[in-house]
């Protein structure tokens, strides 16, 4: 199965702000909205330049984190499995995303009530396998349901570091069969579960992980990265032959998100 579609759903940061604190990155932060808008526009332009197609959902006032569209659910095989956000502050977002996907012809498949699930923030699809993270924002039962909805095998990985509360903050596809990951984000022994996928796993340092390098994103064969000046990017470029392109999204890092968080692959 191909999970590297060049179609992305983004949300322009018209009302982006930090009005509450639901992760350690958000503490005592303030957004420069003008700068955030310029960075978002640059990200959009870069994706289009690389051959990607962008669709947008309009941000609703009072939903400041709606810009992180990756958390809205999973769009795959013309089905949309909406998120069930853990925190009350974000739960209203789901209504607006469901409306967008219904309007655009997707079949909506609902989770069983009572479980938390934060979409692509905690899910990556590789071949016939759904790799899911759980422990902070997504429940294990939700991953089991998601794998069933899309008829995929499941590998679930428990997250234990509060700064890396979503899978896409500590695990990232960087090539056809290559992945980077931050070892200390996972419960001991969890990463060994990935051996059955026969993929190359490249560890990153905590310093690079805190730059959100694991929230990079492939567009075609080019990896969009939030920071060029780090050991991980140099290694990917020089030792693994991966093409990289820098996109500055520093305003969004203040809220605990980066490139991949801002884009839902559809």
pLDDT of residue 246: 98
Average pLDDT over residues 67-83: 97
pLDDT of residue 46: 98
Q: Catalytic residue at 245? A: no
Residue 66 Cα distances to 60, 71, 111, 206, 255, angstroms: 8, 8, 20, 27, 12
pTM (two decimals):
0.96
From 11, 156, 166, 214, active-site residue: 166
Confidence of residue 3 (pLDDT cuts 50, 70, 90): confident
Q: Is the pLDDT of residue 1 over 90?
A: no
Per DSSP, the chain holds a count of helices (H) and strands (E) of 7, 15
Confidence of residue 55 (pLDDT cuts 50, 70, 90): very high
The class that CATH gives domain 7-265 is alpha beta
pLDDT of residue 23: 95
pLDDT of residue 2: 56
Domain ranges of the chain: 7-265
Residue with tokens 């429940």: 139
Q: Catalytic residue at 126? A: no
Residue 102 Cα distances to 21, 80, 85, angstroms: 31, 9, 19
Contact 156/189 with Cβ under 8 angstroms? no
Average pLDDT over residues 23-38: 96
Average pLDDT over residues 63-79: 97
**Lowest-pLDDT choice from 3-12, 32-41, 94-103:** 3-12
From 214, 230, 261, 263, active-site residue: 261
Beta bridge partners of 219: 222
């Amino acid at each position: 199965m191909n999970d590297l579609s060049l179609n992305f759903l983004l949300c322009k940061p018209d009302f982006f702000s930090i009005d509450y604190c639901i992760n350690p990155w958000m503490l005592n932060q303030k957004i420069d909205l003008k700068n955030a808008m310029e960075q978002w526009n640059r990200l959009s332009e870069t994706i289009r330049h690389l051959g990607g197609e962008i669709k947008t959902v309009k941000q609703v006032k009072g939903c400041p984190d709606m810009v992180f569209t990756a958390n809205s659910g999973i769009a795959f095989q013309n089905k949309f499995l909406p998120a069930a956000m853990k925190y009350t502050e974000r739960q209203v977002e789901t209504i607006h995303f469901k409306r967008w996907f219904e309007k655009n012809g997707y079949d909506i498949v609902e989770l069983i009530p009572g479980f938390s699930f934060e979409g692509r923030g905690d899910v990556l699809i590789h071949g016939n396998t759904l790799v899911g993270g759980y422990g902070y924002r997504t429940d294990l039962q939700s991953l089991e349901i998601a794998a069933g909805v899309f008829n995929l095998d499941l590998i679930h990985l428990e997250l234990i570091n509060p700064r890396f509360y979503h899978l896409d903050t500590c695990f990232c596809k960087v090539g056809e069969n290559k992945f980077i990951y931050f070892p200390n984000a996972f419960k001991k022994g969890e990463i060994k579960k990935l051996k059955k996928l026969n993929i190359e796993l490249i560890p990153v340092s905590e310093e690079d992980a805190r730059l959100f390098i694991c929230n990079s994103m492939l567009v075609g064969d080019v990896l969009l990265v939030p920071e060029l000046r780090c050991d991980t990017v140099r290694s990917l470029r020089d030792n693994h032959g991966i093409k990289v392109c820098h996109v500055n999204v520093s305003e969004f890092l203040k809220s605990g998100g980066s490139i991949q968080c801002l884009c839902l692959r559809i």
